[in-house]
Structures are given as structure tokens and as C-alpha cells.
A and B are shown apart, each in its own frame.
Chain A
């Protein structure tokens, strides 16, 4: 072929600058049958970056179970997985990271993370109905953490509030391991009618290819490659690699795209996210097994003098690629004109298999689309069990003295910013717009209704990264089980899992071992709980100058509540209701928040999760909620029984505290009397929940639990102004709530 571009010599330095190894470069030459030009080198570098190609994670990700009778679109096939929820409806959901941009520019980094995940959902034809997010920061007492935390929350609020999709829940944790490398994982769920699902596929030779949405600038140039590197002291110089978001533009794009879907003019649609125009063109062509040709001179621009390299690699936000039916051009153009958006025909679907990029008719790049999208390099990285585990996993319980004052320990736990109320965060998010939010943030899982049906959708995101640090296999298992359990607590049946796997540099054998182990743990839990993985994202290279972050495989579980009238709150409802503890309690204080907060130790083995017991617990809770036996249900997690009981008391409005008296704990000490008091109050044994029920349901609740083989203990009663637990805890609920609610605002006011 003849290339008319000014020839830039491709030197080994230039190749290395693009993050391409000499072996990968050989592969490129083999694919092209010649040396690439600069534009092509850039295209390969972004498509073969970890962010787009998953070259370091693919063989491991293949281990996830992705089959299920309800799955309409499976993991990896499209931008997001789709699950059938009956009656012609389906849910489309995904979680994705925006960690590196948020470390550099927290507001825009987080905002564009939200924008990107929204596009992943509506590009499938689904209307986004909820957002969630999972955030991790360093020590909140440090000024730089406060800056990042404030910026990220404001960025999420800015984007979500403006576009009018409620942010209904999520999680926020603080730990030194995230110092300088915060995690910002955003999740979106959309609803789509089964016959309205849109594929990101180019088909039909001669069909026009449209560029719609915002104009292209130099922002976010090479962002995918940027996300696939470690952060260094110099990373702040990468600021141009962080994009700027415009939620108003995205709102228009969303409405226009959903309007277009209702017509018969659409063949395929793909958002321009990471690797922008490059990724969307080659992926649509690869999925459709066709060729595609575009002329970038036609691409709307907001800067002058952009080279083909820059246009192809730009990550400007709020753009989509649309494959329309030939002869229906007018339909497309009319809709986008109505919404005052660009809609420019930049090319068409071609025979063959090539992605051809022209500039004013002159060829500037020509690459087989499948080679870019599907045939990237795949590596099986070396792995090694890290040395730190030997010491860190050892915990001599005899040396851990029980605290003198359990009241004080409970207060410390509730005041720890990871456990404390996140109202400071979620009151900045519009969590009610669309008038579907039934359970506000603060519940075990968020719950929305679907108007015009009886259905509810519950969503929870979870990961205890300290568990994963101390035992990635068990930690991965627990992350899945806990997210599913949270969904089950509301009465919803878990349908599927999306995950965002945040790890350090995969070239480090210890990091790769953590990654592999965590995935194996998740795989086991997904299989046992019958929740297939529907998609997600891998984020490697999460390392600050100090060290790798704790392994953080964030799990999002989506559940279906057939009849939303059967929903179960996380909070105690009425004085006089009986309180039951479900599940056995063991001496498990390793890796617990109690150990960290009270003893300053991040040590020991995390609790062991028995998946059969977990499944039985979940089955029991689902049956009990289906028959409306439960007044409330809250799972036990960080801080154990005492924190779970305190949280169950916090639901009622400010001046109407609803306490609890737990006076039958001695049951748990039987038969062996070996249970430590601190493990009973604050230990984190898995597969447990606190439920409350009207006394008239007492017998049937106990019988149902026994039928499922689940241990059940009646431990006390709802009521009174205090939380009283055994003879160790007695505090006014109002006082506890104040401690719980003042932690984050107090720190942020300093």
C-alpha cells in the first residue's frame, strides 16, 4: 500500500515509548507484512494495552463461570452482560475502574469514570437506572487523602446528578495501602426490553458508519496506555491523559441514542471509551467479521492541526460510533439534529476484514480488525506466593488480650471512617431522581423498583481487601459471598456478578499470584452460589511509590425481587420484635476490623467461608422473606455482631431511637464454652445475619431455619432507647448514632 504520511522513523525507543515489547513488535510486522507507520503503531499500542486487550489476565479470566439460563449476553461478548428478568425485560450491568485518572485529577477522573460506565450500558440499548460506586482511599486524616476523597465524591456527584441517574449506594474504605493510588470503581445498571438489545457490531456491506456526540480534541490522548502503567512521581505530568467530562452532552447523547434504538435505522452501536475511535471501529468490525473504512477528515474536532495519530487515539468523552442501515441516513440525522448533536457519516462497512483509516481520501492506516481486537498478545505471567504471608498470617490468640471496656471498642469501631456512616458522601449524590429508589444508601443493598411491574432490583458492591491481602483465595470467595448475602438480605435472588479486579503490577510474580488466587476463590463462590460472571474489568498497575495496593477484587451482585412488597429492610422496625442471630460463631478475629482498630494489627487468617453453609443461609433468608416472616435482616461483616446490631438500630429518624436488648447470648457459648468474648462481640465469622421478626412468627422462623440446617439463636428483643448486649455493652443508641454519623464530617471539617 502507499502511505502518504510524512514518514516518522519507527525507532526502538519509539516502540518502547508505546509500551510495546520487541516480541510484540515482531508480531505486528508479521500481521501487517511490513513495518507499521506511526499512526498504526499508536493504534496497536492502545489496542494491545492491558486496559483493552487483557493480555495479562485473559487466561485467568477464562476460569470464571459465564453460563446461566438467564444470560442473554455473556461476559466478553459485548460492552456489558445482559440478564433476563422475565416478562420481556432484562438488566444490563457492569462495573469498571477509573483509578489512575482519579489519582491524578480526582474530580474529572471520577466524573469521566461515571460517564464511561453509563455509555457502556446505553450503548447496549438499555436505559441506565442506577449507579453505584466502590471507593478506596488512604488514611483520611491526611490532607492529600481528604483532597482526593472530596474531589472524587464531587466528580461522581457532578456527573451522576446532572445526567439524572441516581447513585443509590456503594462502599468507601480507607486504608494506608491506597495512599496515592485511590480506587474508583463505578457500576451502572440499565433496563432493556429483550427485543431492544443493541449489539456493538458492524454488519451489512455498504452500511454507513456515523460519528455522533461531542467533537474530538486532544484530551485523554493515550489514556488506555496510561492506565496500563504504574503511577510514579512524574505521573502528574500525565494530566492531559485525563479526560474532561460533560454530563449535559452525555444526557443528550443518551436520549438521542435511545430514541434512535426505537427506529429501524440502527444496525450496531459502540461507545468511544478507552482508545476512542480506534477501539470502536476495530471492535465493531471484528464482531461483525467485516471490514470498515473511515475518513478522519470528517471527524468533528475542537482543536486544529490534529494528526491522524491524535484523532485515532483521542479519548474525548461523550462520543459514539453508530452503524446505520443504508437508506436510513435521514432518520439518524434527524434525531441527532433534534438533540443538537453532531452526527457525521465518516465511513462505511466494507467487505473483507480490514480496518482502513483515510484522511481526505488518503490512506493513513490499514490493519486487519480482528488482529487488533482479538489477536493481541496473551501472557501467562510468572507467579510466586509472597513472603510477607508467612509472618502476616500468624496470629497467636493467647497474646491478644480482650479489651476492658467493650462499649469503648464498639464506639471506636463505629467511628472508624471505613465503618462509619457514609451520609456525607451519599447526600451529595442525587440518589432519588427517576423516583425508583426504594432502599436508600445505608442499607445492605440498594433496591429500586421497576415502574409498571412488581419487580425490584437489588444491587450490592463488596470487597474486604484486608482479607484478600492476608488470603486472596478466601478473600475472593468472601467478596462474592458477602455481596450476594447483602442482596439476599433485602429478599432478592442473586442473578449474576460483575467484577472489577484491582491489583498491582502483574509483572511482579507476587502480585500475579494474588490475582490468580483471588480469581480462583471467586470462581468457587460463583459456582456454589450459582451466580455467573457477566462481565467486568481488570485494573493492574495499582501501585503508589510505596508498594502495591491490597488486592481488591470488587464484586457487584445484582438480584431480582419478584415482588417488591416482600422487601426486607436492614433496620429494626418495631419495638417488641424478636431478634435472632443466624449462623454459628467461631473464634475468628484474624484480619478483623476489631483487631486492627483495637490492637493495631492487620494480621492473622481471615475467617473461613464454608460455601455450603453460605448457600443454606441464603436459601433460608430467601424463603423467610418470601413468606414475609422478617421485619429486618442485616448481614454480619466488619465489626461483627456488635456493629451489626448497632447498625440495625440506626434506621429510624433522628429523634426516635429504636434500641435493642440482647440478653440471651449465653446460648452461643454452648456447648463448648471455648468462644472468646471478643470473638462473640466483634469477630467476623462468615455466613451470619441478624434478623428481627414479629413474635407471632417465632416458631415458623425457627422451623424454617432448621429445615435449611441453619443454626438459629433467639438472642433478644427490639426496643428501648439503648443498645444492650449481654453484660458488656450498654449505650444509648442516640449516642452511638452520633459517633457513627460524625466521623467523616468531623474529619472533613478539619
Chain B
């Protein structure tokens, strides 16, 4: 697998994704600067977290006009994998690659902590190494992760099995107490119809190594983020 991490001005998880792919997963990876129009041929493009263009106007709203986005869209149109994490997810929504929009967290505060994610769909390149109903522990860090879409879209997402991750308890129960931002239907990650574009608020690159396990929160530590990279490696 070959991967590329797009760098927008204000991206700040770009080096973290790069590190997870290159140093942890031993995958060839390169950075692509947002002004680039010439795009490398890769199997996976990651739109990393951060505050692209300062997130002025709305999160991800300016990044969608970035020169690089044309190539990103073409990459996706060819059926190759595209993963948007946090701000990257917000950009995918603004660019119309995924449906819906992002609102401010219900608490109105930025929140950074580990959350539990239930794997709802394992028939994707991003999750094929997981078990259906498996609960992962992965951190979030955002002020605007309150995913919203209209009822019709929601029914379509549900009907076509496109909700990939939901916020739950450690045991996989759903409930308001386990949803950290108020997102519709506890959605933490969703994909497009073809299944090659995934947007998710949690940060798998922050849960890819044992040393970052955050023992204050998770007794046995968590490397659950690795499972996404491992699934992708296996899919390709």
C-alpha cells in the first residue's frame, strides 16, 4: 500500500498520521501540499485533523476550495481509498463527498478524551479486520463533531449500511451518556455508497501504539486505531 497525507495550512495531525503509517505500520507515505495540483498515484489518501485555513467561516468550509481537492475528488472517483479524520471528515462533508453537516458539540465545548466506538459494518476496506459489534477505544478531540443530516438521508445511511462507527458504552450499549457531541444516531463515522470514502471524528492515529495507550483512561491500553490501518493493508 502507498499512502499520501494532504497538508492544508492549519492541518496539525498531518505528521501524526504520517508517523502512524510510516513508522508504526511501515507503509510508504508522502505529504501532499495543498497547493499541489500534480497528485501522486497512491492507494490511500488521508485528510488529517487540524484547523485547515483556521476553520474560519465553518470547519472545512475553505479547505474544500483548495487546489488539491480536485485531485482528491478524482482519487475517490477512481474508487481508491480516502479517509477523512476529524477536520478531514468535516472537509469531506463540505466538499460533498459525504452527506450531512457538522454542528458544534452539544456541550458547546471542545472535548478531548477516549471514547468507545461500536463497529457497525465490517464489509468495508477500512474495517474488514474487525468483528461486527466489536467495541473499539479511540480518542476524539474536537469542538464541532455533532454530525447532522436530515431524516431522509439518515434513513438512507441506515438502509445502505453506511454508518460504520457509532458512539456506545464499553459494552456496546447506546445512550446519550456515551455520545460525546450529540451527533445524530450516535454517528461517529460514515462512508459513501461505494465504500471507499470514510469520514470519522475519532483519531485512529492516536491509538496506534501501546505507549500512547492513556492508562489513566483505559486499563489495558488501546491500540484499536491500528485495526483501521491493518484492514486497509489487508484490503490492498
The yes or no verdict on A and B being binding partners is yes
| Chain A residues within an 8 Å CB radius of B35 | 338
Beta-carbon contacts under 8 Å, B4-51 to A: 9-10, 12-13, 15-16, 19-20, 23, 35, 49-51
Write out the residue numbers on chain B whose beta carbons fall within 8 Å of the beta carbon of A451: 19, 23
Binary per-residue interface labels of chain A (420-431) against chain B in the complex, 1 for a CB within 8 Å, 0 otherwise = 000000111111
The complex places the Cα of A432 from the Cα of B203 at a distance, in Å, of 10
Question: For residues 195 through 231 of chain B, which have their beta carbon under 8 Å from a beta carbon of chain A?
Answer: 203, 205-206, 208-209, 211-212, 214-219
The CA-CA distance from A655 to B171 in the complex, in Å, is 11
Which chain B positions have C-beta within 8 A of A249?
A: 54
- What distance in Å separates the Cβ of B235 from its nearest Cβ neighbour in chain A? 24
In B46-102, which residues have CB < 8 Å from any A CB? 49-51, 53-56
* Least CB distance, A648 to chain B, in whole angstroms: 12
Query: Nearest CB to that of A440 among chain B residues?
Result: B216
CA distance A442 to B16 in the complex (A): 23
The interface size of chain B toward A, counting residues with CB under 8 Å, comes to 39
Task: Decide yes or no whether B153 CB sits under 8 A from chain A.
Answer: no
Chain B residue contacts of A154, Cβ below 8 A: 109
Cα distance A726–B59 when bound, in Å? 55
Q: When chains A and B are docked, how far (Å) is the Cα of A442 from the Cα of B215? A: 11
User: A residues within 8 A CB of B212?
Assistant: 432, 435, 437-438
B111 CB–A CB distance under 8 Å: yes
Specify the chain A residue showing the minimal Cβ separation from B208.
A435
Q: Which one of B20, B55, B203, B214 has the greatest number of beta carbons of chain A within 10 Å?
A: B214
Chain B hits for A218, CB < 8 A:
none
Is A232 part of the binding interface, using a Cβ–Cβ cutoff of 8 Å? no
Query: Known contacts A164-B50, A440-B216; is A427 also within 8 Å of B111 by CB?
Result: yes
Is B113 an interface residue when CB atoms closer than 8 A count as contact? yes
Q: CB-CB < 8 A to A652: which residues of B?
A: 219
Instruction: Please state if B218 and A653 are interface contacts (CB–CB under 8 Å).
Output: yes
Verify if A415 is at the interface (C-beta below 8 Å from B): no
| Residues of the A chain whose Cβ atoms lie less than 8 Å from the Cβ of B112 | 161, 426-432
Are A434 and B211 closer than 8 Å at their CB atoms? no
Q: Given A427-B113, A428-B109, A656-B219, are A248 and B211 also a contact pair (CB < 8 Å)? A: no
Is B205's CB under 8 angstroms from A433's CB? no
A564 adjacent to chain B (CB < 8 Å): yes
Most buried by B among A338, A339, A430: A430
From residue A748, how far is it (CB to closest CB) to chain B in Å?
10
Partner of A438, one of B20, B141, B211, B218: B211
Is B139 in the interface zone, CB < 8 Å from A? yes
A653, B208: Cα distance in complex, Å: 19
Q: Which residues of B contact A437 (CB under 8 A)?
A: 212
Residue in chain B with minimal CB distance to A431 = B112
Judged by a CB distance under 8 angstroms, whether B170 is at the interface is yes
CA–CA, A440 and B221, complex, Å: 13
Contact A435 B109 (CB under 8 A): no
Asked if A523 lies at the interface with its beta carbon under 8 angstroms from chain B, I say no
Q: List, in ascending order, chain B residues with CB within 8 A of A571's CB.
A: 215-216
Q: Is A602 located at the chain interface by the 8 A CB criterion?
A: no
A residues near B49, Cβ cutoff 8 Å: 433
Contact B219 A163 (CB under 8 A): no
A252 within 8 A of B: yes
A366 to chain B, nearest CB (A): 39
Taking a contact as CB atoms under 8 Å apart, the answer to whether A435 and B219 are in contact is no
In the complex, whether A509 has a CB less than 8 A from a CB of chain B is no
User: With the chains together, A252 CA to B53 CA distance in Å?
Assistant: 10
- B residues lining the A interface (CB < 8 Å): 9-10, 12-13, 15-16, 19-20, 23, 35, 49-51, 53-56, 109-113, 139, 141, 143, 170, 203, 205-206, 208-209, 211-212, 214-219
Given A251-B10, A438-B212; 5 other pairs, CB 8 A cutoff? A247-B51, A429-B110, A430-B141, A435-B19, A435-B206
